[in-house]
Amino acid sequence: MNKFIKIIIAFLLIVPFLVACSNTAGEEAKTELVISTASSLKEAMEDIQHTYEEEHPHIKLRFNFGASGSLQQQISQGAPVDLFFSAAEDKLDLLVKEGLMDKNDFTDLLGNELVLIVQNGRKTTLNSFQDLNKQEVEKISIGMPETVPAGKYAKESLQNLGIWNDIDYKIVFAKDVRQVLSYVETGNVVAGIVYKTDVISSEKIKVIASVEEQMHTPIIYPLGIIKDTKHYEEAKDFYDYLRSEKGLKVFEDYGFTIN
């Protein structure tokens, strides 16, 4: 009888260990894909992540969100990345030139629009881009043009509108469009220029005006697979999913246009 009890106790002790090992084995079996992604795509990509991981339980998606220029520099310097989803075509062109991406695994997927924003409820006479000259508009935020595509497009637009030289001393540069949005939401600046998609879910922001397309370089979001990925088949499957009708529908719901 004592021997039987010892066997039962031993069994009860070993079961949790076996379950833990089973769980660990399941986790280890998952393939992790690292996707460097423009900050403006954050909500849409997290939405897609939830659906995709449910449909592909063997895949774990890990996003590295940031300014496209900074992400491109990280990849050029050897950061382990499987796919790159940029907010500017020239960032992927650089990777192709450096031999880090194949042109055949590269597509121009989405488009966007620039808007001028203020804090919702803020008392202002700002009604157009020309009004940025007004004395009441003390600070204006845009992304850093060298690394943030939205900032590059914003600067181009202000130059083509003929007001950049009059207001450049008011400019507060941000590390990405989400920081611009935060500056405006908190009232740290009077106005900012961001993508239309950035303000769709924010109740703290009011759109004053949209930038006409001809005022800047076309806004294109290219997607590409990094040549040195160790998980090409899995990366290609996710790449194709983002280009599918189901994936594109999510981007449309978040205000992006389809190229």
- Per-residue pLDDT of the chain in tens (259 residues, 90 and over written 9): 555 554 454 444 454 544 444 454 445 578 999 999 999 999 999 999 999 999 999 999 999 999 999 999 999 999 999 999 999 999 999 999 999 999 999 999 999 999 999 999 888 899 999 999 999 999 999 999 999 999 999 999 999 999 999 999 999 999 999 999 999 999 999 999 999 999 987 889 999 999 999 999 999 999 999 999 999 999 999 999 999 999 999 999 999 999 8
- SS3 state at 43: helix
- CA-wise closest residue to 154 among 217, 199, 94: 217
Q: In a 10 Å sphere around its CB, with 0-12 CB exposed, 13-18 middle and 19+ buried, how is residue 66 labelled? A: buried
- CA-wise closest residue to 91 among 32, 36, 172: 36
68 is in an annotated binding site: yes
Q: Considering the chain, tell me which residue range(s) the CATH 3.40.190.10 domain(s) occupy.
A: 10-111+220-258, 114-215
User: 3.30.479.10, 3.90.1150.10, 3.40.50.300, 3.40.190.10: which CATH number matches 10-111+220-258?
Assistant: 3.40.190.10
Q: In a 10 Å sphere around its CB, with 0-12 CB exposed, 13-18 middle and 19+ buried, how is residue 244 labelled? A: exposed
157 is in an annotated binding site: no
22 is in an annotated binding site: no
177 is in an annotated binding site: yes
**In the prediction, which pLDDT does 5 show?**
53
**In the prediction, which pLDDT does 15 show?**
45
DSSP 80: -
**In the prediction, which pLDDT does 246 show?**
96
In CATH, which superfamily holds the domain spanning 114-215? Periplasmic binding protein-like II (3.40.190.10)
**Strand 31-38, strand 171-174: pairing:** unpaired
